[in-house]
């Protein structure tokens, strides 16, 4: 373990929060091994580590979601034990989770004041007061969101900003932001950073969890790195570099961000001709994907990239155009038909549309290929399901105590690997990947990139959406750019620049 002092931290203030020797164990694994953390008033403290390092577990112990087994937590010098998140919020500790858990059927202000509605005469909910308070919070943060807008009608980016506003509405002293920029555009990230700097100036302590190195070095005052459930190092951000953080996180040198492109694209295997969606933002889109090729979809938030994948996979209703596989027209009128035609779709939102949280690893891994495990056409072969799950856990390096573990207890990166394993068991020819490395650490990202390249080299074709332009350039062979639901350009990843892609992305804005 490397010991690094935190001397020289800019904006160093009094200690707001201290976690000492925190231990948390789950069956078969010690998730936290005597971890300590100090957060000072008026600072941004970044918490970094690979998926499974224990970052989210530590924060859940702070927030009252998990009960710690050993150690103590002090808030402004006073020992505290939060038995649930409500107690934490009441004491000024708020957390914005990576996977949003919102009442999508309700409007924005309902979500912000849920459980603490302002009352008239102590009985009736005051809609007017609730709206006024919401607008006050939004104006304070520079947000232009309609308080009466239904959550389900909002893009993920706006829902994320509303969740941050909710945390601020509690007058929190400590705010935990878990991967807050994973769904934000560059402009929205800039807005978020302005909000963070405002909160820092007010004396808040911000715990910032992210895998995006550039952001961490830009916004944070101090950085703590964890590995395998233990504290590795704490230092001022000024003392850190991207290379040093990676070495501390993974315990080894990682010289390349992307694997070499060894695959060689062949003939066109899949093609869309002028497809449009009836209710989603996809207009007259024509693209081609070759055998063994990784094709990227770039664009700003709301450009229609995810909607295009949903159209191809049969989730949204197609209003025009056609799909062609190996030169023959196909329909893909439903996900079931798309799977039969050799398509797989990894969705952007792991929690809401990816995992089956209460099911275990085996069940999540094999659920899309159950037909291949039938015995006598009636019974599932548990032995074959277990064997295939073991193979996938080993192949994708999934960190889990056992294949009987509920998937919701895994880190986001390991959940993503399980979902990828699920689709690989369907033996697809075309993989549709929507933000495949969202919220995943640098080591796990490389593993997924390597798997994508391995699949491409084996003749599989990949169409992927990503909001990270360096990722698209580093992984893909070609990139289509979308804006306003239309294709505005096509570039060769080997020769393009981020500026060229952004120019095409802003074409219809």
Give the per-residue pLDDT at 348. 85
Nearest alpha-carbon partner for 309 in 324, 297, 319: 297
At 203-254, the pLDDT tens digits run 999 999 988 888 899 999 999 999 889 999 999 999 998 888 888 887 765 5
CB-based burial label for 67 (10 Å; 0-12, 13-18, 19+): exposed
Predicted pLDDT of residue 30? 86
pLDDT reported for residue 256: 72
Question: 34 in helix, strand or coil?
Answer: strand
Distance CA 241, CA 249 (A): 12
* Residue that is written with structure tokens 């999508």 in the block: 104
Full pLDDT tens readout for the chain, 509 residues = 444 433 333 445 799 999 999 999 887 678 899 999 999 999 999 999 877 788 989 999 999 999 999 999 999 999 999 999 999 999 999 998 877 778 888 999 999 888 887 777 667 778 888 899 999 999 988 888 999 999 988 887 788 888 888 888 888 999 999 888 876 777 788 888 998 998 999 899 999 998 888 889 999 999 999 988 999 999 999 999 888 888 888 776 555 778 888 889 999 999 999 999 988 889 999 999 999 999 999 998 789 999 999 999 999 999 999 999 999 999 999 999 999 999 999 998 787 788 998 999 999 999 999 989 998 778 899 999 999 999 999 988 888 888 999 998 887 778 889 999 999 999 999 999 999 988 777 777 888 999 999 999 999 999 999 988 889 999 999 999 999 999 999 999 999 998 899 889 888 65
CB within 8 Å of 42: residues ≥ 6 apart: 11, 13, 200, 201, 202, 203, 204, 205
Q: How far is CA 275 from CA 39, 148, 284, 486, in A?
A: 52, 34, 5, 10
pLDDT at 250: 75
Go through the domains of the chain in sequence order and give each one's CATH number.
1-92+172-255 (3.40.50.300), 102-170 (no CATH), 256-342+428-509 (3.40.50.300), 351-426 (no CATH)
In the numeric block, which tokens belong to residue 196?
């963070």
For 296, residues 6+ apart whose C-beta sits below 8 A from its C-beta are 464, 465, 466, 472, 475, 476, 478, 479, 480, 493
Neighbours of 105 (CB within 10 A): 9
Give the global pTM.
0.65
In the chain, % of residues over pLDDT 70: 95
What is the predicted pLDDT for the residue at 509?
Answer: 58
* Helix or strand run (H / E) with residue 80: strand 78-80
Alpha-helical (H) ranges within 142-211 are: 156-169, 186-201
User: What residues have CB less than 8 Å from 483, skipping those under 6 apart?
Assistant: 299, 300, 303, 504, 505, 506, 507, 508, 509
User: Mind giving me the DSSP string for 370-437?
Assistant: GGGGEETTTEE-HHHHHHHHHHHHHHTT---S-TTSBGGGS-HHHHHHHHHHHHHTT--SEEEEESTT
pLDDT for residue 115: 80
Start-end of H helices in 15-81: 55-63
């Amino acid at each position: 373990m490397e010991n690094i002092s935190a001397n020289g931290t800019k904006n160093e203030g009094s200690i707001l929060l201290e976690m000492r020797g925190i231990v948390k164990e789950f069956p078969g694994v010690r998730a936290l091994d005597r971890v300590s953390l100090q957060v000072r008033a008026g600072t941004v403290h970044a918490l970094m580590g690979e998926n499974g390092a224990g970052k989210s577990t530590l924060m859940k112990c702070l927030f009252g979601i998990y009960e710690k087994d050993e150690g103590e937590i002090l808030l402004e010098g006073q020992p505290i034990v939060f038995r649930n998140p409500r107690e934490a919020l009441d004491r000024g500790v708020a957390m914005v989770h990576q996977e949003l858990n919102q009442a999508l059927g309700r409007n924005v202000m309902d979500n912000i004041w849920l459980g603490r509605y302002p009352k008239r005469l102590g009985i009736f909910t005051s809609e007017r007061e609730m709206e006024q308070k919401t607008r006050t919070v939004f104006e304070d943060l520079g947000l232009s969101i309609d308080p009466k807008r239904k959550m389900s009608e909002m893009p993920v980016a706006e829902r994320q900003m509303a969740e941050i506003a909710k945390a601020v509405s509690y007058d929190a002293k400590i705010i935990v932001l878990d991967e807050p920029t994973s769904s934000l555009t560059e402009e929205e990230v800039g807005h978020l950073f302005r909000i963070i700097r405002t909160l820092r100036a007010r004396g808040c302590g911000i715990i910032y969890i992210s895998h995006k190195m550039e952001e961490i070095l830009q916004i944070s005052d101090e950085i703590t790195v964890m590995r395998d459930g233990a504290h590795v190092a704490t230092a001022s951000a000024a003392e850190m570099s991207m290379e040093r953080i990676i070495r501390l996180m993974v315990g080894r040198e990682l010289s390349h961000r992307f694997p070499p492109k060894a695959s060689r694209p062949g003939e066109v295997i899949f093609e869309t001709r002028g497809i449009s969606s009836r209710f989603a933002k996809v207009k007259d889109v024509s693209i081609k994907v070759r055998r063994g090729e990784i094709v990227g979809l770039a664009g700003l938030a709301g450009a229609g990239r995810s909607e295009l994948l949903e159209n191809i996979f049969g989730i949204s209703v197609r209003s025009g155009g056609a799909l062609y596989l190996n030169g023959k027209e196909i329909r893909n009128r439903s996900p079931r038909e798309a799977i039969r035609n050799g398509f797989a779709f990894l969705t952007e939102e792991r929690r809401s549309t990816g995992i089956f949280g209460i099911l275990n690893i085996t069940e999540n891994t094999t659920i899309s290929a159950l037909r291949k495990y039938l015995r006598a056409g009636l019974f599932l072969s548990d032995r074959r399901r277990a064997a295939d799950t073991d193979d996938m856990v080993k192949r994708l390096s999934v960190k889990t105590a056992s294949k009987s573990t509920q998937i919701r207890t895994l880190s986001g990166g390991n959940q993503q690997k399980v979902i990828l394993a699920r689709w690989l068991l369907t033996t697809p020819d075309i993989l549709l990947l929507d933000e495949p490395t969202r919220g995943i650490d640098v080591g796990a990202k490389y593993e997924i990139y390597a798997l994508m390249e391995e699949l491409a080299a084996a003749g599989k074709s990949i169409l992927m959406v990503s909001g990270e332009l360096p990722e698209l350039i580093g992984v893909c062979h070609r990139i289509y750019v979308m804006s306003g639901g239309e294709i505005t350009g096509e570039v060769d990843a080997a020769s393009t620049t981020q500026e060229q892609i952004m120019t095409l992305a802003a074409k219809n804005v």
